[in-house]
């Protein structure tokens, strides 16, 4: 959008005031404050804003380097400090002087409370679009309801890819929308600080990460947040990986989709049909061995195609019963660009598709639910009776 400097200035001033006023900011939070208070001072807790709990830090390994984009008062950095241990390193970047001063003031206290000889956290002033961080120097990037405040998100995603080491990862929580933001919100600077105007549609946000070079992008969790003028805003947590550009030409040579989908189109543009082995190269093998793909594919040296009678075949069939339309829409969140189910639905990444009550139950099953966000656009409870619903009659 135009006048990005004005947007950045408005957001900066808003968060600077929050340090003094204690204003409740935009995003839903879910911290375990009782646990964090054991080593983090109260002034830091008071100005902690985010939409994750805290995002991605459950995967941190001792000795890793963690980068927090938009570190604010430092709460996620201090939790990362505890997890990486004294041999690890944490970098927090923020553009607000008042937030940086608060975080730096309390860093020695946190280090002492954790039993560290010195603080392993460094706070730097900078913007997400131009991070003061060396290339290929970070193992994990976290960000908690911050990137939506940037007026140039593709640049942020490219910076994230630049600073991560090969095999590095990100886990970020952010506010996304189910549809494009109209101009009357997009050009309202006050709404940017509320995490509204800067929210991208889910599909655009996900595609921006993919275009930056990330793969294995998948949903960790989501929480419905607000509905404003018919636009659904969601708190969504995503993880993705920076895979090495070159792969060793060893390892599995065939991949077989086990389910629950009948067909998928992956991030590399490859199509897999459940039960049919497909030849793969080293890049595809590396992708299919990332965390979220594991369990969805059988990897092998030779073809091992199988049928529905095989125990590896995973399918969730809809009930043979009437269904009702109650205003539910499903959005695929990855890691695939497109999937098909066993009731002939075709879900495209980030594109809302209206689903009936039978399909909703399928999407809420353990096998499906981590791949979808479901919203309800009905302004009131639908009053019609259940109807017979078969793919052949166009109902589903």
- Give the pLDDT confidence of 161-179 residue by residue, as tens digits: 999 999 999 999 999 999 9
What distance in Å separates the CA atoms of residue 224 and residue 286, rounded to the nearest whole number?
33
Q: Which residue has the tokens 């695939």?
A: 336
103 Cα distance to chain centroid: 25
Question: Greater confidence, 317 or 54?
Answer: 317
Please compute the mean of the pLDDT values over residues 188-210 and round it to a whole number: 82
- Give the pLDDT confidence of 267-291 residue by residue, as tens digits: 999 999 999 999 999 999 999 999 8
Is 50 exposed, middle or buried (CB count within 10 Å of its CB: 0-12, 13-18, 19+)?
Answer: buried
What distance in Å separates the CA atoms of residue 73 and residue 103, rounded to the nearest whole number?
5
Indicate the fold that domain 247-315 takes in CATH. Ribosomal Protein L9; domain 1 (3.40.5)
Angle at 213 between CA 207 and CA 217, to 5 degrees: 55
CB 180 within 8 A of CB 197: no
Q: Which residue has the tokens 């069939």?
A: 317
What local confidence, expressed as pLDDT, does residue 16 receive? Answer: 44
What local confidence, expressed as pLDDT, does residue 291 receive? Answer: 85
Is it true that the peptide bond before 335 is cis, omega within 30 degrees of 0? yes
Residue 386 makes CB contacts below 8 A (sequence gap 6+) with 321, 322, 323, 324, 357
Alpha helix segments (H runs only) across 47-178? 75-84, 97-113, 153-163
Number of H helices, E strands in the chain: 11, 17
Question: Greater confidence, 389 or 3?
Answer: 389
Is the model's pLDDT at 21 over the cut of 70?
A: no
- Give the pLDDT confidence of 298-316 residue by residue, as tens digits: 999 999 989 999 999 999 9
CATH number belonging to domain 4-242: 3.40.50.150
What distance in Å separates the CA atoms of residue 389 and residue 288, rounded to the nearest whole number?
35
Is the model's pLDDT at 8 over the cut of 80?
A: no
Please give the mean pLDDT across all residues of the chain.
87
As given in the structure block, the two tokens for residue 190 are 């006050």
User: In 3D, which of 185, 181, 210, 160 has the Cα closest to residue 333?
Assistant: 210
CB 75 within 8 A of CB 54: yes
As given in the structure block, the two tokens for residue 130 are 């131009």
CA atoms within 13 A on the CB side of 204: 15
Q: Find the helix or strand (DSSP H, E) in which 231 lies.
A: strand 231-242
Is 25 exposed, middle or buried (CB count within 10 Å of its CB: 0-12, 13-18, 19+)?
Answer: middle
- Give the pLDDT confidence of 115-165 residue by residue, as tens digits: 998 999 999 999 999 999 999 999 999 998 889 889 899 999 999 999 999
Is the model's pLDDT at 71 over the cut of 60?
A: yes
Sign of CA pseudo-dihedral 172, 22, 79, 220:
negative
What local confidence, expressed as pLDDT, does residue 190 receive? Answer: 66
Q: Find the helix or strand (DSSP H, E) in which 202 lies.
A: helix 202-212
Q: Where in the chain is the domain with CATH 3.40.5.100?
A: 247-315
26 — pLDDT class (breaks 50, 70, 90): low
Is the model's pLDDT at 196 over the cut of 80?
A: no
As given in the structure block, the two tokens for residue 370 are 């981590």
Is 314 exposed, middle or buried (CB count within 10 Å of its CB: 0-12, 13-18, 19+)?
Answer: middle
CB 69 within 8 A of CB 56: no
Residues of the chain above pLDDT 70, percent: 84
3-state secondary structure of 20: helix
User: In 3D, which of 332, 316, 322, 253 has the Cα closest to residue 286?
Assistant: 253
Is it true that the peptide bond before 100 is cis, omega within 30 degrees of 0? no
CB atoms within 10 A of CB 247: 15
379 — pLDDT class (breaks 50, 70, 90): confident
Q: Which residue has the tokens 């998100």?
A: 153
* Strand 138-144 versus strand 65-69 pairing type: parallel
From residue 309, give the alpha-carbon distance in Å to each of 190, 234, 256, 305, 312: 58, 39, 15, 12, 9
Q: Where in the chain is the domain with CATH 3.40.50.150?
A: 4-242
Instruction: Specify the pTM.
Output: 0.89
As given in the structure block, the two tokens for residue 143 are 């960000």
């Amino acid at each position: 959008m135009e006048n990005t400097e004005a947007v950045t200035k408005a957001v900066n001033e808003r968060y600077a005031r929050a340090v003094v006023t204690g204003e409740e900011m935009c995003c839903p939070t879910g911290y375990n404050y009782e646990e964090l208070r054991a080593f983090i001072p109260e002034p830091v807790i008071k100005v902690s804003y985010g939409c994750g709990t805290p995002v991605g830090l459950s995967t941190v390994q001792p000795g890793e380097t963690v980068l927090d984009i938009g570190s604010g008062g430092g709460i996620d950095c201090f939790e990362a400090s505890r997890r990486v241990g004294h041999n690890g390193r944490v970098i927090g970047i923020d553009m607000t002087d008042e937030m940086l001063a608060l975080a730096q003031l309390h860093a020695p206290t946190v280090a002492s409370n954790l039993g560290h000889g010195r603080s392993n956290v460094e706070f730097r002033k900078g913007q997400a679009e131009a991070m003061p961080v060396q290339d290929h120097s970070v193992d994990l990037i976290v960000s908690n309801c911050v990137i939506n405040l940037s007026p140039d998100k593709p640049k942020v995603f490219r910076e994230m890819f630049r600073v991560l080491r090969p095999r590095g990862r990100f886990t970020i929580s952010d506010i996304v929308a189910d549809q494009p933001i109209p101009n009357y919100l997009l050009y309202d600077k006050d709404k940017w600080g509320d995490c509204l105007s800067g929210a991208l549609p889910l599909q655009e946000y996900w595609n921006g990460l993919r275009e930056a070079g990330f793969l294995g992008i998948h949903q960790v969790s989501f929480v419905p947040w607000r509905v404003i003028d018919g636009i659904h805003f969601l708190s969504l947590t995503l993880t993705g990986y920076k895979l090495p550009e070159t792969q060793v030409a060893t390892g599995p040579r065939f991949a077989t989709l086990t389910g629950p989908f009948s067909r998928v189109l992956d991030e590399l543009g490859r199509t897999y049909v459940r039960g049919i082995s497909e030849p793969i190269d080293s890049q595809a093998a590396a992708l299919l061995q990332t965390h979220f793909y594991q369990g969805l594919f059988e990897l092998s040296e030779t073809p091992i195609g199988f049928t529905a009678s095989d125990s590896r075949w995973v399918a969730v069939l809809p009930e043979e019963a009437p269904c009702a339309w109650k205003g539910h829409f499903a959005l695929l969140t990855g890691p695939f660009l497109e999937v098909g189910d066993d009731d002939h639905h075709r879900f495209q990444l980030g594109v809302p598709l209206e689903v009936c009550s039978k399909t909703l139950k399928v999407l809420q099953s353990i096998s499906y639910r981590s791949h979808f966000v479901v919203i309800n656009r009905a302004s009131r409870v639908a009053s019609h009776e259940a109807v017979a619903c078969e793919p052949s009659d166009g109902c589903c």
